[in-house]
Amino acid sequence: METPKETRERPTPGGPQDFIRETVARDLASGRHRTVVTRFPPEPNGYLHIGHAKAICLNFGVAKEFRGRCHLRFDDTNPSKEEQEYVDSIQEDIRWLGWDWGGHLYFASDYFGQLYAWAEDLVRAGKAYVCDLSADEVRAYRGTLTEPGRPSPYRGRGADENLDLLRRMKAGEFPDGSRTLRARIDMAHPNLNMRDPVLYRILRATHHRTGDEWCIYPMYDYAHGQSDAIEGITHSICTLEFEAHRPLYEWFIENLPVPHKPHQYEFARLNLTYTVMSKRKLLDLVQNGYVSGWDDPRMPTLAGYRRRGYTPEAIRAFATKVGVSKANSTVDVAYLEECLRDDLNKRAPRRMAVLRPLKVVLENYPEGKVEEMDLVNNPEDASAGTRKAPFSKVLYIERDDFMEDPPKKFFRLSPGREVRLRGAYFITCTGVEKDAAGEVAALRCTVDLHTRGGSSPDGRSPKATLHWVSSGHAVEAEVRLYDRLFKAENPDKAPEGQDYKVNLNPDSLVALAGCKLEPSLAVCKAGDTVQFERLGYFCCDRDSAPGRPVFNRTVTLKDTWAKIQRRGK
RNA sequence: UGGGGAGUCGCCAAGCGGUAAGGCAGCGGCCUUUGGAGCCGCCAUCCGGAGGUUCGAAUCCUCCCUCCCCAGCCA
* pLDDT tier, A547 (very low <50, low <70, confident <90, very high otherwise): confident
Q: Which nucleotide is nearest to A191 (CA to C1')?
A: B3
Exposure string over A371-400, b if 16+ CB within 10 A, otherwise e: eebebbbbeebeebeebebbbbbebbbbeb
pLDDT in tens, A280-289: 999 999 999 9
Question: What percent of chain A clears pLDDT 90, i.e. is strictly above it?
Answer: 95
Cα separations in angstroms, A321 against A60, A326, A486: 16, 15, 24
What mean pLDDT is predicted for residues A356-367?
98
Residue pair A286/A72 in contact (Cβ under 8 Å)? The answer is: no
A203 CA to B73 C1' in angstroms comes to 9
What mean pLDDT is predicted for residues A71-96?
98
Residue A545 pLDDT more than 90? yes
Residue with minimal CA–C1' distance to B8 is: A327
Q: Which nucleotide is nearest to A242 (CA to C1')?
A: B69
Q: Mean pLDDT, chain A, as a whole number?
A: 95
Distance of CA A81 to the CA centre of its chain: 21
Q: What is the pLDDT of residue A14?
A: 63
Question: Is the ipTM of this structure higher than 0.90?
Answer: yes
Q: What SS3 class is residue A495?
A: coil
A48 CA to B21 C1' in angstroms comes to 33
Q: What is the pLDDT of residue A297?
A: 98
What mean pLDDT is predicted for residues A344-362?
98
Instruction: Write out which nucleotides of chain B lie closer than 7 A to a protein Cβ.
Output: 1-8, 10-14, 16, 22-27, 33-38, 67-75
Strand order across the A128-131 sheet: A128-131, A180-183, A198-202, A216-218
Residue A4 pLDDT more than 60? no
Residue A10 pLDDT more than 60? no
Closest CA to A535 of A443, A401, A411, A387: A401
A18 CA to B45 C1' in angstroms comes to 28
* pLDDT tier, A128 (very low <50, low <70, confident <90, very high otherwise): very high
Residue A12 pLDDT more than 80? no
Where does residue A208 fall: left (phi above 0), alpha (psi -120 to 50 degrees), or beta otherwise? alpha
What mean pLDDT is predicted for residues A478-499?
95
A65 CA to B59 C1' in angstroms comes to 29
Q: Which nucleotide is nearest to A452 (CA to C1')?
A: B33
What mean pLDDT is predicted for residues A106-122?
98
Q: What is the pLDDT of residue A16?
A: 81
What mean pLDDT is predicted for residues A159-182?
98
pLDDT in tens, A304-336: 999 999 999 999 999 999 999 999 999 999 999
Q: Which nucleotide is nearest to A532 (CA to C1')?
A: B34
Q: What is the DSSP string of A305-321?
A: HHHHT--HHHHHHHHHH
What mean pLDDT is predicted for residues A130-152?
97
Q: Which residues of A are catalytically annotated?
A: 43, 269, 279
Q: What is the pLDDT of residue A569?
A: 65
A422 CA to B59 C1' in angstroms comes to 56
What mean pLDDT is predicted for residues A407-420?
96
Helix or strand run (H / E) with residue A446: strand A440-448
* Burial class, A33, CB count within 10 angstroms (exposed 0-12 / middle 13-18 / buried 19+): middle
Q: What is the pLDDT of residue A382?
A: 94
* pLDDT tier, A15 (very low <50, low <70, confident <90, very high otherwise): confident
Residue A1 pLDDT more than 60? no
Residue with minimal CA–C1' distance to B26 is: A563
Alpha-helical (H) ranges within A66-145 are: 84-97, 112-124, 135-142
Residue with minimal CA–C1' distance to B4 is: A244
pLDDT in tens, A414-454: 999 999 999 999 999 999 999 999 999 999 999 999 999 99
* pLDDT tier, A13 (very low <50, low <70, confident <90, very high otherwise): very low
Q: What is the pLDDT of residue A8?
A: 27
What mean pLDDT is predicted for residues A128-156?
97
Closest CA to A319 of A38, A74, A54: A54
Q: Spell out the domains of chain A, with CATH numbers in brackets.
A: 7-267 (3.40.50.620), 348-473 (2.40.240.10)
A555 CA to B51 C1' in angstroms comes to 52
Q: Which nucleotide is nearest to A374 (CA to C1')?
A: B33
Contact residues for A151 (Cβ-Cβ < 8 A; gap 6+): A141, A187, A196
Residue A388 pLDDT more than 60? yes
What mean pLDDT is predicted for residues A39-47?
98
* pLDDT tier, A497 (very low <50, low <70, confident <90, very high otherwise): confident
- Tell me, what amino acid is at A409? K
Radius of gyration of chain A (CA): 31
Residue A527 pLDDT more than 70? yes
